[in-house]
Amino acid sequence: MSLGPVPPAKWLSRELDEPHETDLGGEARHHQFATAYVLMVCDRRDASGRYMLLAGSVLPEEDLYAFARRYPLTWKAEWLLDWRGQPEPLPEYLSPDERRYVEEAQAAARYVRTEAHRRGVVV
The answer to whether position 4 is within a domain reads no
Q: What is the pLDDT of residues 47-96, one digit of tens each?
A: 555 666 656 666 666 777 777 777 888 888 888 999 999 999 998 888 89
The pLDDT of residue 119: 80
User: 34 is in which domain, residue-wise?
Assistant: 20-119
CA nearest neighbour of 64 among 81, 77, 45, 83: 45
The pLDDT of residue 11: 47
Residue with the larger pLDDT of the pair 16 and 105: 105
Whole-prediction pTM: 0.75
The answer to whether position 71 is within a domain reads yes
Burial of 10 (0-12, 13-18, 19+ CB in 10 A): exposed
> Is cis: bond before 72, omega within 30 of 0?
no
The answer to whether position 6 is within a domain reads no
How many structural domains does the chain have? 1
The answer to whether position 83 is within a domain reads yes
